Structure 1
Amino acid sequence: MKKRILGFWEIWNMSFGFLGIQFGFALQGGFMSRIFQTLGADKDSLPLLWIAAPLTGLIVQPIIGYFSDKTWHSKLGRRRPYFLFGAILSSLALFFVPYSSALWMAAGFLWVLDASINISMEPFRALVADKLHESQRSYGFVVQALIIGVGTLVASNLPWLVNILGVSNEAAPGVVPMSVKIAFGIGAVVFITSILYTIFTTDEYPPEDMEAFKEMKVASRGRFVQDIFENIGKMPKTMVKLGVVQFFSWFAFFTMWSMAMPALTEHVYQAPAPVEKAFNLENIEQQNAFNVANKKYQDASDKVGSAMGIYGLSSMAFALVLAFFASKKRVNRKNTHMFSLIIGGIGFISMYFATNLWHLYGSFLLVGIAWGSILSMPYAMLSSAIDAKKMGVYMGLFNMFIVLPQILAALGGINYMYKLLGDATINAMMIAGFCLILAGLANLLITNKKAIAYTLD
C-alpha cells in the first residue's frame, strides 16, 4: 500500500495520546519511590518494589503487539481499541495509587498501572510505522519524543506546582501528602483525555486484502506461543544489536527512576526519608522531630521532582531540533543516538558533584538529551529493519531489551553495582552514567545502512 506523506498536525494528532502515557510514566517514575518511602520502605528495597513495572512490560507488550497485528475493528481500526482499553485502566490506577495505605497495596497498584500503560503504549509505536511512509518515520518518532518531553516536564512538576498553589505536601506518618494525590488525579484526567483526542482525530489504514487478513487471523488461532518463539528465532540482526544499546540504556534509566529520589534528597539536600521505627511517635518531642525530618524530606522531594522535570524540557527541545532537521534532511540515526547517550551519561555522573538545585537542573538537562534520543532513534532504526506486516509483534518483542535490564536491576543489580563504589546512594547515579556511556558506544555495532539513515536509493 502506498502511504501518503502526512503533514505536521496529522502526525501530531496521531501522537498526542503519548502526552497522557508520559504523564503516567513521569508520575510513576518520579514519585513511586517517594510513595514507597512514605509508606515505610527503606532505600535498598526500592528496586525490588519496582520489579512490577518491567515484569508487566515483559508479559504485556509482546501479547498486545501480536494481537494488535491481527485486529481490525470497523470503527476503531487496529491499534486504537488497545489505546482506549489501556487508557481507562491506567486512569483508574493513577487516581487510586497515592491512596495506598500499605506497601503491598502500592506495589500492587504499580503492577496494574504499568500493565495498563503498556497496553496503550506499545500500539502507539506500531501506529507510527503503520501510518507513515518510511521517509517520515524518523520525523514521526521525533514528534512522539517532543510530546513525551512536554508530558515529562509538566507531570514531574505537578506535586511542586500543586504545593505552590497552597495544597500541603505534609501528612501524618505513613500517609501520602495531598499534593501528590491531586497530582496523580490530574494525571489520570490528562491520560484519558489525550488518548481520546488521538482516537477521534486519527484513522488507520485497513488491511490491503481483507479476505487474506481474515484467513491469516483464523490460521493463527492457538499459535500465539509458537508464533512468538518463531519470531524471536527470526529476529533481524539489527534488532539484536539495537537490543544491546537498549539494555544498557534502560538499566540506566530504571536506576534513575527507582533511586534518584533517595540518592539526591540525601546527597544534595541532606534530607533522607525519616524511618518511623527510628522515632518513638508516642513521645511528643520524638513526634516533633519526625515531623521536622519529614517536612525536610518532602520539600527536598518536591525539588528533586522538579529537577527531574528538566530532562523532559531538554528532551522536548532536542526533539524540536531533530523534528525540524528530520523534516528537511536525512538523519544519521546511529551517530545521533550514540552522542546523545554519551552526553546523558555525563549528566548522570555530574550529579555526584551537585550541591544545589541549579546543579541538578544542569545534570538533568544533559540526561534529557539522551532521553529524547531513546524515545525516537531506536524505534526509527528498528522500523526500517523489520517486516511491516509484523510491526506490532516485533515492536512488542523489542520491549524485551527494555524490561530485562530493569528486571536485572530490580533483583539486586543496582544495589550490587552501586555498592562496589561505596555505600552512598548517590553512587547509583554514577552507575547509571557509566551504563549510558556504554549504551552510546554500543551503537558502533549497527551497520545496516537503511536503519542508520533511510534513503530512497
Structure 2
Amino acid sequence: MAFTGEEKSSQNPTIATPSTDNSPQHKQEFNAWQLWNMSIGFLGIQFGWGLQMANMSSIFEHLGASAHSIPILWLAAPLTGLLVQPVIGNLSDHTWTPLGRRRPYILVGALLASMALVLMPQCSSLWMAAGLLWILDTSANTSMVPFRAFVGDLLPKQQRTKGFAMQSVMVGLGAIAASMLPWLLSHLFAVNSATGPAQQIPQSVTWSFYIGAGLFLSTVLWTVLTTAETPPPDLDRFDQLKEKRGGIRQSFSETWQVLGQMPPTMYRLAWVQIFTWLGIFCFFIYFPPAVARNIFGAVDIQSTLYNQGIEWAGLCFAVFNAVCIPFSFLLPWLTRRVGRKVIHIICLLCGGFSLIALLKIQQPWLLLPSMVGFGLAWASAQAIPYAILTYALPTQRRGIYQGIFNFFIVLPEIAVSLGFGWIMEHWLQDNRLTAVVLGGNFLVIAAGLMVFVPTEAKQLAAQQTSQQQVTEPAVVDSTV
C-alpha cells in the first residue's frame, strides 16, 4: 500500500490517498506492510518468468529442438524486451488515468501474460511454443518495466535500495515456487510427469503453468488495488508534454535521443550489465538440459531419467532463489557499510566461480552448494545496478531511462540467441554444461568491469551539474 501523502482515505484504510505535495521532505517512509503490498505483484510476474526459465528449454526439446537450435527459439525473450521496454517506459512516463500512471500497463500486461501461460502447455509444435513465448514475453515486459519505475516514483530516496531489495525478495519467492512446482506436483501430489506421443509435455509442467497464470494475475491485482499513485502537480503541463513525447512514434524518437545522452554512470554500468546477462542467459537456457544430460546421463528426452534431471534442475533453481531472499534483506545493511559497488563485485565473482566449478561436479546433490554462489549474484543483479542507476538519472525521465537500461540486458541475450547456436555446434560440440561454464566466465568479466563504475558521491555531483545545465523547463512529477 503506497502512503505518499499526509492522510489516508477515510473510506478504505488499506488504500493510501496521495497528497499533492511531492517535495522530497514530504514523502513519508513506507512501513513493511506497505512495501509488501507495493511489491507483491512482482512475485506473480517473477513466477511467470520462473516457469519460463526453468521449463522452456525442456519444452523445446520435448517438441524436437536440438541443442544448437535452442538459442534462436529464445529470441523472443530479449527481442520483445528491446522493443517493448523503452516504449512502455516512455508511455508510462507520460500517462495519467483514473488508475494512475504505471498501474494500467502493469494490469494489462498481467492479463495477457496469464492467457499465454494457460496456452503454453497445449503447444504441439515448436512454432506454436515459440510464438506463445513472444506473446508471454511482450506481456510480462509490459508489466515489469513500469514496476521498476513504480519504486522510484513512490519511495523516498533513503528507501529505494530497500524497495528494490524487496523486489528481489519477490523475485526469489516467485522463482522458488515456480521452479519447485513441477517436482512438488510429481512427488507429493502424484501428478503424472511421463511423456510420450500422446503427451509431449508432462502434466506436472502443464498444471504448473495453469497455477502460474492464476498467481500472476491475482498478485498484480492486489498491488493495483492497494497501492495508489500520486498525480502530477501540474496536469495541464503534463498533458502538453504527453502530446509532445508520449506517443509510440515519439517514444522511439525520444528513446533514440535519450540513448545518446546517457549519464556516465549509466554508460559504465551498461558494460557490466552486458557481461552479467551474457552469463545469466547462458545459465538459464542450458542449465536444465545440462543437468538432465551431463549430470544424470539421460540420452532419450522421453526417458524417466531425463524428466528427473529437469525436475532436479528446478530444485537447483529453487535453491539459488532461496539464497536470494535472505541475502536481499541483508543488501541494504551491507551496502551502507561496504558500498554498493564493492558488494556487487563480490557477488558477481561468487556467481561466476560457482558456475565454473560445475565442470568438476558429477553427483546431483553437489549442484546445490554451487547454486548458493549463483544466488548471491542473482540477488545483487536484481537490485544493486538499479539502485546505483537511480542516483544518476533525472527524476522526470526515470521511466524511459529504466527502459533503455534494460537494453543492456536484452542486447546480450539477442547476441546469444542469434550467435550461440553456431558456437554450440562448432566449438562446444553441443555440450550444454560447457555453455553454462562459459556463462560463469562472463560473470567474472562483469565483476572486473564494475571496478570502473563511479562511486555514489561522484554520481550525485555529476547529476547536480547535469541538472544545472538543463535549459528546457522540466515537469516536476511524483518521482522527486
Please list, as runs of the form range in 1=range in 2, the aligned pairs for 1:34-433 lying within 5 A after superposition.
34-74=58-98, 76-164=99-187, 165-173=189-197, 175-220=200-245, 221=247, 223-274=250-301, 294-323=303-332, 329=336, 332-413=339-420, 415-416=422-423, 420=427, 424-433=431-440
After TM superposition, give the deviation of residue 226 of structure 1 in Å.
2.3
Once the two structures are superposed, what CA deviation does each residue of 1:78-104 show, in whole Å capped at 9, x if it has no partner? 000011000000111011101100000
CA contact (8 A) 1:142 1:323 kept: yes
Q: Distance in 2 between matches of 1:50 and 1:359?
A: 28
Q: Which runs of 5+ in 1 are unaligned?
A: 275-292
Q: Identical aligned pairs, as a percentage?
A: 40
After superposition, the C-alpha distances for 1:360-393 in whole angstroms (9 at most, x for unaligned) are 1111111111000000000001111001111110
Q: Secondary structure at the match of 2:210?
A: helix
236-245 vs 8-17, greater mean Cα deviation? 8-17
How far apart, in 2, do the equivalents of 1:452 and 1:346 lie? 30
Spell out, residue by residue over 1:214-263, the C-alpha distance to the aligned partner (whole angstroms, 9 max, x if none). Answer: 11112335533321111111111111111101101111111111111222
Question: Contact 2:186–2:192 (CA<8 Å) still a contact in 1?
Answer: yes
SS of structure 2 residue aligned to 1:40:
coil
Per the alignment, do residues 399 and 443 of structure 1 end up closer, same or farther by CA in structure 2, a change over 3 Å counting?
same
- Residues 338 and 112 from structure 1, CA distance in 2 versus in 1: closer, same or farther, beyond 3 angstroms? same
* C-alpha displacement of 1:320: 2.0
- 3-state SS of paired residue (1:234): coil
TM-score by length of 1: 0.91
Is the 2:424–2:431 Cα contact (8 Å) retained in structure 1? no
CA deviation map 1:22-61 (0-9, x unaligned): 1011100010001000111111111111011100000000
SS of the residue aligned with 1:250?
helix
Secondary structure of 2:153's match? helix
Q: Are 1:242 and 1:443, in contact at CA under 8 Å, matched by a contact in 2?
A: yes
8 Å CA contact 2:388–2:456 kept in 1: the answer is: no
Separation in 1, partners of 2:215, 2:436: 30
CA distance in 1, matches of 2:133, 2:428: 30
Q: Distance in 2 between matches of 1:153 and 1:223?
A: 39
1:432-447 aligned at under 5 Å gives the runs 432-447=439-454
Check whether the contact 1:418–1:425 (CA below 8 A) recurs between aligned residues.
Answer: no
**2: CA distance between counterparts of 1:199 and 1:225?**
27
SS in 2 for 1:44: coil
TM-score, L = length of structure 2: 0.87
Measured in 1, the distance between the counterparts of 2:400 and 2:304 equals 47
- Give me the whole-angstrom Cα distance separating, in 2, the residues matched to 1:419 and 1:24: 33
SS of match in other structure, 1:426: helix
The 4+ residue runs of structure 1 with deviation greater than 3 A are: 323-326, 417-423, 450-454
Provide the rounded CA distance (Å) in 1 between the counterparts of 2:396 and 2:104.
Answer: 18
